[in-house]
A = this chain, B = another copy of it.
């Protein structure tokens, strides 16, 4: 069996951690009888600085031939914040309609959590983040387009009418941002969460702020309620996003599957990463079940550690396990996760986790473990 996988190392520590992850995946393949044909893509800050290209038409055409992309990280101090993130990472998510951002929040054995009195059995849930709508659509006062002026006028009018004011039309005086949720967009994410919950502890928590942002999250709640009716065996609850940040810290054991719109998903999964031991251990999958999906550590490119072979590869290796799951290699995926757990218990870890091993050493160690663990 051969799988073809695209690899985007990206910037900073990205190439090193992806190299480690590939080694582990390849070793798992040897054990479980599959082979991965890797195709490298040179996408990231370097190319952008040289050619001005972010994600090109050709990148898209070529990437669309793969069902999985293994992604390192992007971000570079020489580029203004937002350019690479929007032009590459979000562009891939949106272009390939990767409507699910899947984030396991799981405290592995032997990992230190900043929370007092919480053990691995207390922290084990999954966040399903909607990944193509909400305030990530990138529409607002600075969005270049021929309708620009007309919108600014309309929004300004609404604002002035609502508050009885008379603010200038000037985009520099009044900035606006438009978030959008569509019924089909909400539905497919919520349905995914319920399907997942049926295979887990059968509980779904919707996180929103429908008491204040009632326009978009009101629709989200309506759709949630409708979808829930089709899963009578799954328990449901609504949490407001402000409150949920408290419960993640106080009662993580309450959660099984959490489903939430894009922006709140971004926020609560970083908090989730921290309670599971930090960004060094947090993977994510950007999933389009019938198209091209992308698996990545959720941390950034840490430019200052670039080329030093010190970055913690575990989040990337874990993302590799999710990638294998996505490819249907469930046994291999489980073995990779067991190898990660084993290496942590062995203390064979990088500096950030209290060890002294190099990125490449951890990769090699895990590649060895995955063949037997």
Contacts and interface: CB of A to CB of B under 8 A. Distances in A.
Interface of A: 81-82, 85-86, 90, 94, 113-117, 135-143, 145, 147, 150-151, 154-155, 157-159, 161-163, 167, 172-184, 209-220, 241-243, 245-246, 249-250, 263-264, 266-271, 273-275, 278-279
Most buried by B among A140, A142, A173, A175: A175
A270 B245 contact: yes
A138 B162 contact: yes
A248 to B, nearest CB: 8
A125 to B, nearest CB: 16
A221 B264 CA distance: 21
Nearest to A212: B136
A175 B271 contact: no
Nearest first, the 5 A-B pairs at minimum CB distance are: A140-B215, A175-B219, A242-B270, A245-B271, A82-B211
Given A210-B81, A270-B246, A180 B159 contact: yes
Contact of A175 (B114, B138, B180): B180
B176 A179 contact: yes
Contact of A180 (B155, B242, B263): B155
17 contacts: A82-B210, A82-B214, A113-B116, A114-B249, A135-B213, A139-B158, A139-B215, A140-B215, A155-B180, A172-B219, A175-B180, A175-B181, A175-B219, A241-B266, A246-B279, A249-B249, A250-B274
B116 A215 contact: no
A155 B177 CA distance: 11
B263 A246 contact: no
A214 B142 contact: yes
A315 B230 CA distance: 42
Contact of A218 (B161, B175, B180): B175
B158 A147 contact: yes
A175 B182 CA distance: 6
Contacts of A181: 174-176
A269 B273 CA distance: 19
B162 A173 contact: no
A81 B208 CA distance: 12
A175 B216 contact: yes
A246 B271 contact: yes
Given A154-B147, A245-B274, A271-B246, A211 B176 contact: no
From A210, A211, A278, residue with most partner B Cβ within 10 Å: A211
Contact of A86 (B115, B212, B269): B212
B266 A85 contact: no
A178 B177 contact: yes
Given A90-B212, A178-B179, 11 more contacts: A114-B115, A114-B249, A135-B213, A139-B158, A143-B215, A147-B158, A175-B180, A176-B215, A177-B213, A209-B263, A242-B269
Contacts of A137: 159, 162-163
B267 A249 contact: no
A85 B86 CA distance: 35
A243 B270 contact: yes
Contacts of A138: 162, 212, 214
A176 to B, nearest CB: 5
Contact of A178 (B178, B183, B246): B178
Contacts of A279: 246
B216 A86 contact: no
A161 B143 CA distance: 11
A361 B69 CA distance: 62
